[in-house]
Chain A
């Protein structure tokens, strides 16, 4: 057993896989000597050396393009894009090249690569360094999308993402970096596409991702006191999406809420809402309700950012109100 923070778990998970696969390499800005600007890659240069852990220039297209080229010729790669906002700088590589080439070539090429990136708000970094952009990746056919909420999931899902033959965009949440957990000994390997029920409940289903999972859990605890039993599902990966767990839960509870950090329009919850209303309509006892950041860029000031992101209070109040509204 070791106690690890979320940030340490990133390096831990990568190291586990680099030990297993001597071909696995990684590249990114300030990841080697500096150990990453979020200190998520500390120790990897020491253990694996500068050939396998490479500092790059500030050249996102070159980073992701190189990852693509290496992956399609047999070298699995982990590329870091420092902040997920910067995915926009290399979005051609990701959305047009990496995501589509397997399909366009009728399966001739494969992209065993992971693009890791720090996602999400809560750290007062303002509009260009705080976005939750997992929905950007979710809407591109060909990409897999993973966003862990705990240190153990970081390791297990990192391993699963690396071993997955498809390109995975792996979102590490900035506001979860300091959270801690006991990590069991031995190899940890999880599966993509399996949601986890992190709290059992019978009255409402709440689907959440990354930072919104602990907030949903806190809100669920408050709801309990009001006699509302909330089931909380940590989606963990958006693609593949574990619709079975979701729909079974809604069948049981009859009420469905999403808690999304992304701005409102076309957030991942919209897709879930559509699936639930299409496939579990007759089980619903109330409208599907999405709790999201408003459709605004994120402000920098602490007071404003706190109002923007879904808070425990807002989750709690929205759910209570939905019962009152009956």
Chain B
């Protein structure tokens, strides 16, 4: 291995988090919204920790991509979006599904491949979808859903519904052609769409800066599409919420798309089997110290919320995750019947007479 630090990625200069912006405590966000976000952060965290445990017990098969450490982004957007807005997520989509209100039990059952899963076991971890909640899907092939989100936004524009489509994607996704095509089209058609880059500094195992021409993979490209570069602290739910509120309002007002780069870090590996060893230790530990949950806990205490209120929320979420787990485990394995359903709109898979 050439160890000039460029090719042994673990030896590179770590990319450390910015300090918390303490002035955000004074932002105009009401307490109910904040407590709601606190609960959401815990739901996403505890749900995914449980999913990981179930994976270790070999109950979750296949692959899964967790948002542990990154929950503030889904949380902030979830709180700012209108119930009829559209979410388009990636394979790293559990958090976004839950943040739009997907039932935890059905989500967990889907990860377990059970009949009572939200997709009956057909989709799995990478494809969580709940159209009734505006969760328009989790897309596992990089780039596609940015273009699809444009279509949903176009539809909202034509229907004058006031809905906004929000597409979440990673830093690595900014290097595929679809990203650039989507941004340009959204800009020229002034679509009500918000593109949210969750910049966790890595694609799978490759640091994003090694393969990207600009330092900020999303914000650094905004000017090419006539957009303002927007960089936010992706580990601060308040920062994300404010950026989301602004971008959603802009879209609803007919002023067109926004591109937001939310800088964050995944506390674990890319997918379930990855220990994430290509990351400098100092980087991993520095980001662990910037975990959104303890930070937000502190902020709420500082704003005068009693500890008892916060711990009650945590316990309530823990119970809900237990209930969801029981629901999922009680589900049956899907049977042959469903294997052949819903290939075509007649409900089946028949292609000949």
Q: List the interface of chain A (C-beta within 8 A of B).
A: 29-30, 32-34, 37, 45-46, 49-50, 55-61, 85-86, 88-89, 123-129, 264-265, 294-297, 299-304, 307-308
Contact = CB atoms under 8 A, between A and B. Distances in A.
Contacts of B62: 123-126, 300, 302
Given A58-B175, A59-B176, A59-B177, A125 B113 contact: no
B61 A124 contact: yes
Given A57-B211, A89-B176, A30 B1 contact: no
A126 B124 contact: yes
Given A34-B205, A59-B175, A295-B349, A302 B113 contact: yes
Majority secondary structure of chain A interface residues (helix, strand, loop or mixed): loop
A301 B333 contact: yes
B141 A302 contact: no
B336 A55 contact: no
Contacts of B142: 58, 86, 89
Interface string B107-123: 00000011001011111
A58 B172 contact: yes
Interface stretch (B259-267, B293-301, B319-327, B338-346): B338-346
Interface in B1-22: 1-2, 6-9
Nearest to A61: B177
A58 B212 CA distance: 10
Contact of B123 (A29, A300, A307): A300
Given A56-B211, A57-B172, A294-B349, A299 B206 contact: no
A61 B143 CA distance: 12
A60 B143 CA distance: 11
B121 A301 contact: yes
Interface string B79-103: 0000000000000000000000000
A30 B2 contact: no
Contacts of B206: 29-30, 33-34, 55
Given A33-B7, A123-B62, A301 B203 contact: no
Given A29-B203, A33-B8, A33-B278, A126 B127 contact: yes
A314 to B, nearest CB: 12
Nearest to B205: A34
Nearest to A124: B62
A300 B205 contact: no
Given A89-B143, A304-B113, A125 B333 contact: no
Given A37-B205, A296-B349, 12 more contacts: A50-B6, A57-B203, A59-B177, A89-B141, A124-B113, A128-B141, A294-B340, A296-B343, A301-B120, A302-B61, A304-B121, A307-B339
14 contacts: A33-B205, A45-B1, A57-B175, A57-B176, A58-B172, A125-B62, A126-B127, A128-B140, A129-B140, A294-B349, A299-B122, A301-B333, A302-B333, A304-B338
A307 B121 CA distance: 13
Nearest to A302: B61
A300 B121 CA distance: 6
Contacts of B212: 57
Interface residues of B, number: 49
B67 interface: no
Given A33-B205, A55-B206, A125-B126, A300 B2 contact: no
A278 B339 CA distance: 34
A50 B176 contact: no
B351 A295 contact: yes
Q: Which 6 pairs from chain A and chain B are nearest by CB?
A: A300-B124, A301-B121, A124-B62, A301-B113, A57-B175, A34-B205
Nearest to B349: A296
Contact of A126 (B123, B176, B278, B335): B123
Contacts of B211: 55-58
Nearest to B139: A128
A20 to B, nearest CB: 22
B7 A301 contact: no
Contacts of B203: 29-30, 57-58
Nearest to A298: B122
A32 B204 CA distance: 12
Nearest to B140: A128
B331 to A, nearest CB: 10
A301 B126 contact: no
Nearest to B125: A300
Contact of A49 (B2, B8, B143, B333): B2
Contacts of A125: 62-63, 124, 126
A126 to B, nearest CB: 4
A4 B203 CA distance: 29
A89 B179 CA distance: 13
Nearest to A126: B124
A32 B120 CA distance: 38
B195 to A, nearest CB: 16
Nearest to B172: A58
A32 B278 CA distance: 12
B157 interface: no
A29 B2 CA distance: 18
Contacts of B8: 33
B150 interface: no
A124 B64 CA distance: 10
Contacts of A86: 141-142
B235 interface: no
A128 B204 CA distance: 17
